[in-house]
Chain A
Amino acid sequence: MEPSFRIVPGSAPKSASVNDTANSLGLHDTLQYGPRSIAAEIKTENALKDRLENWEETQDNLKLSMQRNLYGLHAPMRLLMERKIVSANPHMAGLPQSNLHLDILMGRDETIEPVDIFGGMEDAPPLNIHKDMEKKLNM
């Protein structure tokens, strides 16, 4: 994300993407997700979803931008480097994973969030190990 002092995520311009529903050929997977309607995707109000998904990133960006302005580029760069090192994950994708080191670096080791309560095996979509491995290795 580019440096900015936003506290709250701004409304992104509406876009329709195939990211979530693409199959291995790169197109929308009609067999799995049903017929696609770009008009419906554009008109859908996803204000709350976008806000929640971008919330942490926006606030983190604020802190990193301030550190860049105060201490120089090296300060946010080292923090981001540490995060990247710690997120290198040799485990299989799709299965529930916990990364304590990353939690500590991101400051959420001593808090409970809704994702800790709702993200479990009961609520998650069915396991797609092949798909997740493909996604992870072809990244």
Chain B
Amino acid sequence: MASVFSPPGFDFSNTLRNNFFAEKGVPLPKATSTGTTIVGCLFADGIVLGADTRATEGPIVADKNCEKIHYITDNIRCCGAGTAADTEFTTALISSNMELHSLSTGRKPRVVTAMTMLKQMLFRYQGHIGAALVLGGVDATGPHLFTIHPHGSTDKLPYVTMGSGSLAAMAVFESSWKPNMSREDALELVKTAIKAGIFNDLGSGSNVDACVITASHTEMLRNIEMPNERVQKERQYGFRRGTTAWKSEEIRSLVVSEEVTILGAGDAMDTT
């Protein structure tokens, strides 16, 4: 009798082989985490989210300008730290589920709904999905800001940081955050916090992304500050024509002969 329950969706048929290898001394390759600075803070009219744009693969920078602020719904965004694939997949799945849910209830989606969906899913996977998220948005009940850790625990706070650069960013927040800031002050604070992470943490770098969410609309400020632009090279490194002499030159056309035949010319309908 087939089971009425849906299967987990992941294939575990390699666990026996992997355990055998692990016993023989060949460990599983470690999933690399992004190393990130992501922040969120509450201000007078809503939420400001911020993120750096570097994705690392061990000691190598895999992506110099990646997007870490993911779309959940029009008024809710989520920054993701941890394993890049896990954050992208999780936020995309929750975004689809939120859309279905809001179509089913007929109401505007709420931040707590997204938070509950995320935390229940991450708890089910016991932390094997390495996604540390900062979820923020403004809904009918007001602005809300949550963090969700990979094992499923959540916090609701007025200002949060996650990722390898979280301590640098939190130091900035702890010294300068005040309740009911203006939009300019909040944005400046978020930019300073992300820059602290960019300059003091190896896992974070490149540019600053920000997102301002208010009750009326959401503004995505991609690459709002680029403190790491490449300096233009001082010298030209192209070779001028004539640097290397060549002995002989022969130009051949690879087309020997060309004949154009028009096909389908007699396809017109026969109206005789």
A114 touching B93 in the complex, CB below 8 Å, given contacts A41-B16, A46-B15, A123-B11: yes
Docked CA distance A52–B6 (Å): 10
A87 touching B6 in the complex, CB below 8 Å, given contacts A48-B125, A51-B124, A111-B100: no
Docked CA distance A87–B3 (Å): 9
Main secondary structure of the interface of A (DSSP, over half): helix
| A49 contacts B15, C-beta separation under 8 Å | yes
Contact mask for chain A residues 27-63; partner B; CB cutoff 8 A; 1 contact, 0 none: 0000000000000110111111101110111001000
A115 touching B128 in the complex, CB below 8 Å, given contacts A44-B19, A87-B4: no
| A44 contacts B124, C-beta separation under 8 Å | no
Docked CA distance A18–B140 (Å): 54
A115 touching B12 in the complex, CB below 8 Å, given contacts A40-B19, A52-B124, A55-B124: no
Within 8 A of B (CB), among A77-92: 83, 87, 89
List, in ascending order, chain B residues with CB within 8 A of A112's CB.
Answer: 93, 96-97, 100
B9's partner among A83, A108, A117 (CB-CB below 8 A) is A117
Number of chain A residues whose Cβ lies closer than 8 Å to a Cβ of chain B = 34
Asked if A122 is an interface residue, CB under 8 A from chain B, the answer is no
Contact mask for chain B residues 68-94; partner A; CB cutoff 8 A; 1 contact, 0 none: 000000000000000000000000010
| B5 contacts A46, C-beta separation under 8 Å | no
| B104 contacts A110, C-beta separation under 8 Å | yes
| B12 contacts A46, C-beta separation under 8 Å | yes
Number of chain B residues whose Cβ lies closer than 8 Å to a Cβ of chain A = 27
List, in ascending order, chain B residues with CB within 8 A of A46's CB.
Answer: 12, 15
A44 touching B15 in the complex, CB below 8 Å, given contacts A51-B124, A114-B8: yes
Contact surface of B with A, Cβ cutoff 8 Å: 1-2, 4-12, 15-16, 19-20, 23, 93, 96-97, 100-101, 103-104, 124-126, 128
List 15 additional A-B contacts (Cβ < 8 Å) besides A44-B15, A115-B7: A40-B16, A46-B15, A51-B126, A55-B124, A57-B5, A60-B5, A111-B97, A112-B96, A112-B100, A113-B6, A114-B93, A117-B9, A118-B10, A118-B11, A119-B7
